[in-house]
Amino acid sequence: MPSDMEIAQSIRLLPIWEIAKGLGITDMDLILPNGNYKAKLSVRLLEQLKDRPTGRLILVTAITPTRFGEGKTTVSIGLSMALNRLGKKSIAVLRQPSLGPVFGIKGGAAGGGYAQVLPMEDINLHFTGDIHAVSSAHNLLSAMLDNSLHFGNPLGIDEREIFFPRTIDMNDRVMRSMVVGLGGRANGPAREDSCVITAASEVMAILGLATGRADLKQRLARMLVALSFDDKPITAQDLGATGAMAALLKDAIKPNLVQTTENTPALIHTGPFANIAHGTASIIATNASLRLCDWTVIEAGFGSDLGAEKFVDLVAPLGGFRIDGCVLVATLRALKHQGGAPDARRGMLRHLWLGLENLHRHIENCRTLGMEPVVALNRFEGDADDELKLVLKACEEQGTKAVVCAPHSAGGKGCEELAQAVLEQAEQKPGANKPVYDWNSRVEDKIEAVARKIYHAGQVVYTPRAERDLKRIYQLGYDKLPICIAKTPLSLSDDPDCLGACSGFKITISAIHIRAGAGYLVPVAGEMELLPGLGKKPNALKIDIMDDGRIVGLS
């Protein structure tokens, strides 16, 4: 089978205005082309769409993945293409890939095989510049903070109580912790600082959760940057940064329209990770899609314990979304890994059998969140038929519909049975959106609700730092915010080595960050790095550009 890159470069793309016309957008002044094959939806179009009736929403989540991903984006794209093949008007709403994973271990996030969003090279690299705009807006605030300190510190900022880091859209472990301002009075004052990947930036979260320009500015204004010497909050508004930051995000707030390998529409906008942020494409893009088509397919990052939980408890209430259908992606590889196989690609039948506990737990999680999932068993090359049948039978015994799909090798056609099953399930058992906690409850109760009901932890404990963070949250009045737990995606627990269906374990909250602009708290479960490092053999070693301008090595 050809590589992802070869397939992507072999597809005949339609001009982007033809994709727009297929969505009923006839006034080409309402889209803003960026070359021939990608465009932004104008703010004027977004305003016009508000009066239209909404379509239906399908959430795609997954079981606990391996480090390489299980094809959740590929299934989302394949499902949307299959719905279109069945005569349903559908759009896939996806996050933009971060450059960190693209050049790191996981690779790009534009799908794979014959289920990709295109132009693949652009989407995986600089695309329309949105991530750069987020990085620039974020680092402008960092610069203005240090500038205020340099010129006499008129706001009385306590340098020991600065919460706002710098950001970069790259895996670079040496920048996790650093000292800035060295070199004398002209460059200082010197202080400790840190850096997070742009997908973990609060500005990225704000862009993803804002409902429009006015809401964007309000959220930027209330970002908590530091405390003063008398323990008063210092915000982006206090530093005078709001207007300039919003100006840098002028175009980044507009969703990006592209097409799939079968020339069906897709919207790609914002890129928050689900292990350290809320993990879905923007509310603006989702609302636009719901008014442009009958069926919107949206991907929630990682497993049901991260992406799906955050979508139901955080994103859906803010966006006013009702989930009508749910897809739970599983692979033999991930199941064998969860069953303890040393090498998931060569795992034994007993590993697969043990790994089914993880699948059952994620099905249970979906039901806890108010969704009846259809299991999409994503077929990889070399998967054995008897092992696939075993998983299908196990799901049937649990009363869960399961379908083998092959978006990578067969595109939309490989997901038609899945699409039929999802449509039937949405009619018979539509979702009900059941948040697991009340925003107005105590912070500890919200954390415990997710830990016990979704992770199946037996106990939640707090480090001394987390206890200090809790005290500050209550003192500053941020305790009514929802939570967005940062946790490893490789386990249902906070320990990446705890496989299968962990239960009764102790989960440790090591810190709780206040994201006042985004509008949530981030309890950190265990040890989480907000800036990944490159692997021993990163994907960057494979990527190159040829003399004719073709990019090679992306996957």
CATH no. for residue 138? 3.30.1510.10
Q: Is 66 annotated as a binding residue?
A: yes
In a domain, 549, yes or no: no
Judgement on whether residues 264 and 280 belong to the same structural domain of the protein:
yes
Burial of 464 (0-12, 13-18, 19+ CB in 10 A): exposed
Tell me, what CATH number does 90's domain have? 3.40.50.300
Number of domains in the chain: 3
Judgement on whether residues 256 and 236 belong to the same structural domain of the protein:
no
Closest listed residue to residue 208, CA positions, set 282, 260, 116, 280: 282
Q: Is 508 annotated as a binding residue?
A: no
- Of 206, 231, 246, the last residue of a domain is 246
Q: Is 68 annotated as a binding residue?
A: yes
How far apart are the C-alpha atoms of 379 and 422, rounded to whole Å?
18
Q: Is 506 annotated as a binding residue?
A: no
Q: Is the distance from CB of 259 to CB of 13 less than 8 angstroms?
A: yes
Helix, strand, coil distribution of the chain in percent, nearest 5? 40, 20, 40
Give the number of residues written for the chain. 555
| Token pair for 491 | 């386990």
In a domain, 162, yes or no: yes
How far apart are the C-alpha atoms of 387 and 349, rounded to whole Å?
7
In a domain, 437, yes or no: no
How far apart are the C-alpha atoms of 279 and 247, rounded to whole Å?
25
Task: Identify the pLDDT of residue 531.
Answer: 87
Q: Is 273 annotated as a binding residue?
A: no
Task: Identify the pLDDT of residue 69.
Answer: 84
Judgement on whether residues 240 and 263 belong to the same structural domain of the protein:
no
How far apart are the C-alpha atoms of 407 and 386, rounded to whole Å?
20
Residue-wise pLDDT for 202-240, tens only, equals: 999 999 999 999 999 999 999 999 999 999 999 999 999
- Of 382, 400, 428, the last residue of a domain is 428
Judgement on whether residues 468 and 384 belong to the same structural domain of the protein:
no
Query: Whole domain around residue 497: which residue ranges?
Result: 443-525
Judgement on whether residues 145 and 238 belong to the same structural domain of the protein:
yes
Task: Identify the pLDDT of residue 529.
Answer: 83
Task: Identify the pLDDT of residue 532.
Answer: 87
Q: Which whole-number Å values give the CA distances from 253 to 50, 249, 301, 527, in the listed order?
A: 16, 6, 21, 32
Judgement on whether residues 212 and 296 belong to the same structural domain of the protein:
no
- Of 428, 463, 488, the last residue of a domain is 428
Task: Identify the pLDDT of residue 106.
Answer: 67
Q: Which whole-number Å values give the CA distances from 260 to 12, 363, 414, 550, in the listed order?
A: 11, 29, 15, 19
Residue-wise pLDDT for 251-269, tens only, equals: 999 999 999 999 999 999 9
Burial of 346 (0-12, 13-18, 19+ CB in 10 A): exposed
Q: Is 167 annotated as a binding residue?
A: no
Q: Is the distance from CB of 473 to CB of 514 less than 8 angstroms?
A: yes
Judgement on whether residues 423 and 460 belong to the same structural domain of the protein:
no
Judgement on whether residues 347 and 384 belong to the same structural domain of the protein:
yes
Judgement on whether residues 282 and 415 belong to the same structural domain of the protein:
yes
The low-confidence residues of the chain, meaning pLDDT below 70, are 106
Tell me, what CATH number does 479's domain have? 3.10.410.10
Judgement on whether residues 378 and 454 belong to the same structural domain of the protein:
no
Residue-wise pLDDT for 95-131, tens only, equals: 999 998 889 876 778 999 999 999 999 999 999 999 9
In a domain, 42, yes or no: yes
In a domain, 539, yes or no: no
In a domain, 438, yes or no: no
Closest listed residue to residue 9, CA positions, set 110, 104, 77: 110
Judgement on whether residues 231 and 315 belong to the same structural domain of the protein:
no
Judgement on whether residues 241 and 266 belong to the same structural domain of the protein:
no
In a domain, 153, yes or no: yes
Q: Is 67 annotated as a binding residue?
A: yes
Q: Which whole-number Å values give the CA distances from 15 to 36, 37, 256, 258, 268, in the listed order?
A: 5, 5, 14, 10, 17
Which residue spans within 87-162 are E strands per DSSP?
Answer: 90-94, 111-112, 115-118, 157-162
In a domain, 436, yes or no: no
Q: Is 72 annotated as a binding residue?
A: yes
